[in-house]
């Protein structure tokens, strides 16, 4: 995996001082398309759709997976589908139904609020999120699978329609990359809980949902993992009908508080402004402990909502992290995405 060139790395580092002017990753470095062809994302929830696809559907239809046997209706059923074993035992002609193989519809919600325009490891968290969407997108490029995007700006959601094919995916990624950077301290009605809620309402058809965010709520100082986060309930609602993967983008210095001396620290989203002596070892240790507790709370909340969780860091290779996740996901996905009681798989 080729790393980003020095110039764009500098652009990402400058995001520490001011909001970046543009994307810190070029389109062709988002994900190694060819290398990802051999990987497959496990889809465990049944899908709805109209088209023939590669994934297990919810309703009967032409497909490869066998469903129930039912009595033969002359003139309507194909005799080639006769289930001879059942017919012989019951002496009544039966046919075997199959479950339709459907296409997968993936929707990715990208959080582009100002706190995502930040990163010290060569890319900003926003661009890391786009790279994650690219990687997941190439993983789900089976026949007929569609990929759509929602860009969450403070002012509202922007919908990029779901289309199938790698060209369409590239168009979506380019559209996300060239999305104008949200200026700092932009106030708006949209936040992550609302974004997730709207995504659940807008896309009724079952499928895979990817939520890309840093899952930080401005002003939330709760560290106790047993307390629900603000976005947990919408996320759980989204997971009722969909298979949800949460991609948490993270920077090294959000976990390890930087030692940069006495400095003014501003928040990109709120009006927070404070001089902080970052050389204070004790304070830094406490800050790191609190950040770790905060991350643990986010992890527990995502798990509680029945979603898969990928943690990506700006200073690490996201393709490797996602590939490792996909390999482990094969085994746990079925258990992880158990639908709530009363909802079909």
Partner 1 sequence: MIPLAFGLPAFMQPNRLWLVAVPVLLLGAYLLLLRRKSKQGMRYTNTSILDIIVPAQSQWLRHITVGLALLSLVCLAFAWARPLGTDEVPRERATVVIILDCSYSMDATDLEPSRFAVAKDEANQFIDALPAGYNVSVIEMYGTSLMILPPSTDHAAAKRAITAATTQPSTDVAGAIELAVKALQMAPAGDDGDPVPGMVVMLSDASGTTANSSPQQAASELAAMGVPLYPIVFGTDNGYVDLPEADGSIKRWQVAPDHAFFDRLAEITGGQAYSADDAAEARQAYEKIGSEIGYVEEQKEITAWMAGVAALFAAVAAAGAVMLGARWR
Q: Rounded distance, CA 323 to CA 38, Å?
A: 10
Cβ 119 to partner 1 shortest distance, Å: 10
Q: Which stretch binds partner 1 (CB under 8 A): 50-58, 69-77, 137-145, 285-293?
A: 285-293
Cβ 46 to partner 1 shortest distance, Å: 38
Q: For 44, list phi and psi in degrees, rounded to 5.
A: -105, -20
Cβ 29 to partner 1 shortest distance, Å: 24
Q: Rounded distance, CA 269 to CA 185, Å?
A: 4
Paired residues of 262 in beta bridges: 277
13 binds partner 1 (CB under 8 A): no
- 174 to 193: interface string for partner 1, x by CB under 8 A: ----------x---------
The rounded Cα 260 to chain-centroid distance in angstroms is: 33
CB of 319 within 8 A of CB of 35?
Answer: yes
Between 121 and 144, CB nearer to partner 1: 121
The rounded Cα 326 to chain-centroid distance in angstroms is: 13
Binding residues for partner 1, total number by CB under 8 A: 43
- Among 214, 246, 312, 336, indicate the residue that binds partner 1 (CB under 8 A): 214
Paired residues of 96 in beta bridges: 69
24 binds partner 1 (CB under 8 A): no
Total Cβ atoms within 10 A of residue 143: 13
CB of 148 within 8 A of CB of 106?
Answer: yes
- Among 6, 7, 17, 34, indicate the residue that binds partner 1 (CB under 8 A): 17
260 binds partner 1 (CB under 8 A): yes
- Among 16, 69, 157, 181, indicate the residue that binds partner 1 (CB under 8 A): 16
Between 85 and 263, CB nearer to partner 1: 263
Give every CB contact of residue 25 below 8 A, 6+ residues apart in sequence.
Answer: 4, 8, 123, 127, 130, 131, 177
Q: Rounded distance, CA 67 to CA 36, Å?
A: 32
Interface of this chain with partner 1, residues 294 to 313, rule: CB under 8 A: 294
Helix (H, G, I), strand (E, B) or coil at 301: helix
Cβ 252 to partner 1 shortest distance, Å: 12
268 binds partner 1 (CB under 8 A): yes
E strand or H helix at 327: helix 318-336
Cβ 286 to partner 1 shortest distance, Å: 5
Q: Rounded distance, CA 193 to CA 223, Å?
A: 18
- Among 3, 90, 178, 279, indicate the residue that binds partner 1 (CB under 8 A): 279
Binding site for partner 1 (CB under 8 A): 15-19, 115, 118, 125, 184, 214, 216-221, 223, 251, 254, 260, 263-270, 272-277, 279-281, 283, 286-287, 290-291, 294
């Amino acid at each position: 995996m080729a790393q980003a060139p020095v110039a764009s790395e500098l652009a990402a580092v400058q995001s520490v001082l001011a909001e970046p002017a543009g994307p810190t990753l070029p389109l062709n470095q988002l994900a190694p398309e060819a290398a990802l062809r051999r990987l497959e994302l496990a889809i465990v929830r049944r899908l709805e759709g109209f088209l023939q696809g590669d994934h297990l559907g919810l309703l009967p239809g032409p497909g490869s997976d066998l469903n129930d046997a039912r009595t033969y209706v002359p003139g309507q059923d194909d005799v080639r589908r006769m289930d001879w074993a059942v017919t012989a035992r019951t002496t009544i002609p039966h046919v075997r139904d199959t479950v339709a193989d459907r296409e997968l519809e993936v929707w990715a919600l990208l959080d582009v609020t100002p706190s995502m325009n930040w990163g010290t490891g060569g890319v900003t968290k926003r661009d890391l999120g786009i790279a994650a969407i690219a990687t997941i997108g190439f993983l789900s490029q089976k026949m007929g699978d569609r990929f759509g995007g929602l860009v969450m700006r403070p002012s509202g959601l922007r919908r990029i329609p779901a289309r199938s094919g790698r060209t369409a995916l590239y168009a979506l990624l380019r559209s996300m990359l060239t999305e104008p950077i949200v200026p700092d301290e932009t106030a708006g009605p949209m936040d992550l809980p609302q974004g997730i809620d709207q995504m659940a309402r807008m896309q009724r058809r079952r499928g895979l949902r990817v939520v890309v965010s840093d899952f930080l709520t401005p002003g939330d100082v709760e560290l106790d993992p047993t307390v629900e986060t603000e976005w947990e309930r919408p996320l759980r609602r989204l997971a009722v009908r969909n298979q949800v993967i949460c991609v948490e983008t993270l920077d090294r210095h959000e976990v390890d508080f930087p030692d940069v001396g006495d400095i003014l620290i501003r928040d990109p989203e709120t009006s927070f402004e404070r001089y902080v002596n970052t050389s204070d070892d004790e304070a830094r240790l406490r800050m790191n402990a609190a950040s770790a507790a905060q991350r643990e709370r986010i992890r527990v909340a995502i798990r509680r909502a029945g979603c898969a969780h990928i943690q990506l860091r700006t200073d690490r290779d996201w393709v490797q992290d996602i590939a490792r996740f996909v390999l482990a996901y094969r085994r746990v996905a079925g258990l992880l995405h158990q639908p709530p009681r009363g909802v079909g798989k």
